[in-house]
Amino acid sequence: MSRTSHRVPVEGGFLHALSSGHGDETIVLLHGWPQTSREWDRVSALLDGDYRLIAPDLRGCGDSFKPMTGYDALTQADDILALIQHFGVGRVHLVGHDLGGPVAYAFAAKYRDRCKSLTLIEAPLWGIVSDEVPDLATLFWHLKFHQDVDMATKMIGSDIPAYLNHFYRDFAFNPNAITPNEAADYIRAYSGVGALRASLMQYHAIPEIGEQLKELSAQKLTVPVASYGGAMVMADYSGNAAKLVAEKVDAGIVENCGHWVPEERPEFVADLIRKTVSRAGSHAVTE
């Protein structure tokens, strides 16, 4: 797979992005924590023969800029708009894993004329709560801890490799899904000056993002949406949350899988993206 690295201007700085593939449809892939755009390598290798793929590092992560502010979902949706404008693309299919999910949803809801479909994988929709959908921020110990950015940075910074490897192994069904080389690349990305603290600002913004997503959800998405959770982590939370914000949701659970679905089940993710893109084509014909 041939990839090209880009430095894309956005308000206040730049995003690093990887592009590959070719085709009439463009798919934007948004990573989670503690990862970078390279989490999509296996999925991209299965898709780049048929689609144009763009995978940015979110602000504060990887090789993108690391500002003090702007980690709310709406500002990051603006980052994605600048990204696709840079590539000269009108409408895109959005895919979000983990913390990339709220950004992908915010883009789909804010820029409805720019989004053809939305695929969410193990994605928390902060602030979207019902009798069937718990407040996810209360279910995992690290979410509140990471919001205390300065304390978390100090404590995690004493041994970043040990801390991050805990997530790569213990949040996986297959503890070897993220290879030592992949883990080393992520650890490098999160060990630079200011890198860990900047990435944790994604968590610091959770209360603000929750309010934003609640407001956006007042008008449900009408584009095709797919939302799946790994059986041992989010399970049916992902699909149930998506049904509160969208009308046409393909929801389910990825069996024998943990949090790292793009690495643990890349074929499943690639097939799901293909299916959702295809649904968007049918949607455009009938609407």
What are the tens digits of pLDDT across the range 55-93?
Answer: 999 999 999 999 999 999 999 999 999 999 999 999 999
- Rounded to an integer, the average pLDDT of 175-180 is 97
Cβ neighbours of residue 190 closer than 8 Å, sequence gap 6 or more: 34, 160, 164, 196, 199
Q: What is the band of 287 on the pLDDT scale with cuts at 50, 70, 90?
A: very low
SS3 for 230?
strand
Indicate if the pLDDT at residue 224 is higher than 80: yes
What are the tens digits of pLDDT across the range 8-49?
Answer: 999 999 999 999 999 999 999 999 999 999 999 999 999 999
pLDDT of residue 137: 82
pTM higher than 0.85: yes
Amino acid at 118: L
28-37, 231-240, 275-284 — which is least confidently predicted? 275-284
92-97 β-sheet, strand order: 3-10, 13-21, 52-56, 26-30, 92-97, 115-121, 225-230, 249-254
Q: Which of 63, 98, 168, 237 is catalytic?
A: 98
SS3 for 149?
helix
**Average pLDDT across the chain, whole number:** 96
Asked if 259 is an active-site residue, the reply is yes
**Helices 180-191 and 160-170: crossing angle, nearest 10°?**
140
- Rounded to an integer, the average pLDDT of 130-152 is 93
User: CA angle 181-201-66, nearest 5°?
Assistant: 70
pLDDT of residue 136: 87
Q: What is the band of 281 on the pLDDT scale with cuts at 50, 70, 90?
A: confident
Q: Which of 186, 190, 203, 237 is catalytic?
A: 203
State how far the Cα of 70 lies from the Cα of 205, in Å rounded to an integer. 9
Indicate if the pLDDT at residue 282 is higher than 70: no
- Rounded to an integer, the average pLDDT of 198-223 is 98
Across 53-83, b (16+ Cβ under 10 Å) vs e yields bbbbbbbbbbbbbbbeebbbbbbbbbbbbeb
98, 24 contact by CB (below 8 A): no
Q: What tokens appear for 165 in the block?
A: 């490897």
Reported residue count of the chain is 287
State how far the Cα of 72 lies from the Cα of 242, in Å rounded to an integer. 19
State how far the Cα of 9 lies from the Cα of 155, in Å rounded to an integer. 33
State how far the Cα of 12 lies from the Cα of 154, in Å rounded to an integer. 27
pLDDT of residue 286: 42
Q: What is the band of 138 on the pLDDT scale with cuts at 50, 70, 90?
A: confident
Amino acid at 283: H
- Rounded to an integer, the average pLDDT of 155-184 is 97
- Rounded to an integer, the average pLDDT of 245-272 is 98
Asked if 98 is an active-site residue, the reply is yes
- Rounded to an integer, the average pLDDT of 138-148 is 94
pLDDT of residue 283: 61
139-143, 264-268, 278-282 — which is least confidently predicted? 278-282
What are the tens digits of pLDDT across the range 87-103?
Answer: 999 999 999 999 999 99
Asked if 228 is an active-site residue, the reply is no
Indicate if the pLDDT at residue 143 is higher than 80: yes
